[in-house]
Chain A
Amino acid sequence: MYNFDVERPSTIQDAVKAMGREEAQPMSGGQTLIPTLKARLAAPSVLVSLTGIDEMKGVCLDDEGRVCIGGATTHATVAREAEAHYPALASLAARIGDPAVRNRGTIGGSIANNDPSACYPAGALGSGATIVTNNREIAADDYFQGMFETALEEGEIVTEVKFPVPTAAHYEKILQPASRFPLVAAFVAKFSDGVRVAITGASNDGVFRWAEAEQALSSNFSPDAVAGLSLDGSNMISDLHGTGAYRAHLCGVMTKRAVAAIG
């Protein structure tokens, strides 16, 4: 790891200011970024630690009944505190990485990084969440723009994520046994006005909504409704853990299982 300065702001305002320094990089729990720095795949001059910002921590409900999670809230905290409001989201958080990783890793870090195999992007896109930054609100549909690509601008920080709560939802994943990231996972959320299906781990373009499955499930919410659907594997991640065609197949399997779990 190359050396860097560390700033530890205690307010969002100070964090934004620190991000104005040359080659500054925000860091939340660091569970992805620190290994990335060790591999010298990133070499910022200044690391702005977001873990000391109390106004970016915690889980609460807003006036619209949305579950609002501060960007620097750990997975372990979401697993505990979102359980009563949005169990499917709490369950997603409770299954990221391992206990020690969940005590450090945060929702903001995961959403900002947008790893193509991460769990939270599926939860946010599948729920139709709103990503709140230090200067605007972005709909999840506009936010996730491709593998490790988001709508975030240079120096912009994810301060909060607001989740509308569906009537029922489930996150189903099959683990890649070495990394314990999802090989493929589906987040299915049933709202009164329709169904959303978000898939992670599969596409070269990162997390995506499976429109055909959403349509089919919106008119008939049963595993059979998606049984005849298939996705094209030619633009899916193909590696030693699975071919694109295999991942495309798993999209259907994970979606069906998620629907079956909701019942």
Chain B
Amino acid sequence: MTQVKMTVNGKDASGDVEGRTLLAQFLRDDLGLTGTHIGCDTSQCGACVVHVNGEAVKACTMLAVEADGAEVATIEGQANADGSLNVIQQAFQDHHGLQCGFCTPGMVMSAAALLKENPKPTEADVRHYLDGNICRCTGYHNIVKAIMAASGQDVSAIAAE
């Protein structure tokens, strides 16, 4: 077992892990942060997307030991300090950007990464960026709309509600 220490959502976190322990497992099983979902476990679906040192990564395809010393952000740290939903989360609610919700943590984390590097994406930019986030309920329209709205753009012309 190896001891790992990292910052998760701004707080110090540590634990003893095996070499094979995935970051997703460490977050969920050791830290109890079960908002990071494991969907496919083969790095296709994106339900496990978290940020490591500010970059979106698939937590099911990164070893926990490789996040030693890193700053990790998960869905649990996305809400505002007073507990209210952040802009992206609120936009998902306002625009019905989820149905079953399983993919939503990854969608929100990917959206946050996208808007950080591209604050005013086009609809095509959003769709392209979500290449690695699979949703089996919504058909993506409302997810795309929510992300466009979260970027402060007028979404009234975007079809499907």
Partner-B contacts on A (CB < 8 A):
1-6, 8, 30-31, 34-35, 37-38, 47, 49, 51, 76, 97-101, 103-104, 180
Contacts and interface: CB of A to CB of B under 8 A. Distances in A.
Given A6-B65, A51-B66, A99 B18 contact: no
Given A49-B66, A99-B56, A35 B19 contact: no
B135 interface: no
B131 A98 contact: yes
Interface in B32-76: 41-43, 46, 49, 55-58, 61-63, 65-66, 68
A39 B68 CA distance: 25
Contacts of A100: 43, 46, 49, 56-58, 110, 132
A74 B20 CA distance: 22
A122 B68 CA distance: 34
Contact of B57 (A2, A103, A180): A103
B62 to A, nearest CB: 6
Chain B, interface residues (CB within 8 Å), range: 20 to 34
A111 to B, nearest CB: 19
A8 B4 CA distance: 12
Interface of B: 2, 18-20, 22, 41-43, 46, 49, 55-58, 61-63, 65-66, 68, 110, 113-114, 129, 131-133
A261 to B, nearest CB: 18
A30 B129 CA distance: 21
B55 A76 contact: yes
A35 B20 CA distance: 12
8 shortest interchain CB distances as A-B pairs: A98-B132, A98-B131, A6-B19, A103-B55, A1-B20, A100-B56, A4-B19, A34-B61
Contacts, number: 73
Given A98-B131, A100-B110, A35 B42 contact: yes
25 contacts: A3-B20, A5-B19, A6-B63, A6-B66, A30-B61, A30-B62, A31-B43, A34-B22, A34-B63, A35-B42, A35-B43, A49-B65, A76-B55, A97-B131, A98-B46, A99-B110, A99-B113, A99-B114, A100-B43, A100-B56, A101-B58, A101-B132, A104-B57, A104-B61, A180-B131
Contacts of A97: 131-132
Contacts of A34: 22, 43, 61-63
Contacts of B41: 38
A38 B42 contact: yes
B2 A6 contact: yes
A35 B42 CA distance: 6
Contact of B20 (A31, A37, A76, A101): A37
A180 B56 CA distance: 19
Contacts of A31: 43, 61
B19 A47 contact: yes
B8 to A, nearest CB: 18
A62 B41 CA distance: 40
Contact of B65 (A8, A76, A101): A8
Tell which of B19, B113, B131 has the most Cβ of chain A within 10 Å.
Answer: B19
Contacts of B65: 6, 8, 49
Contact of A3 (B18, B42, B56, B113): B18
A47 B129 CA distance: 31
Given A30-B63, A30-B66, A76-B55, 12 more contacts: A3-B18, A30-B61, A34-B62, A35-B42, A47-B19, A49-B65, A98-B46, A99-B110, A99-B114, A100-B43, A100-B132, A101-B132
B90 to A, nearest CB: 23
A34 B129 CA distance: 23
A231 to B, nearest CB: 30
A5 B65 CA distance: 10
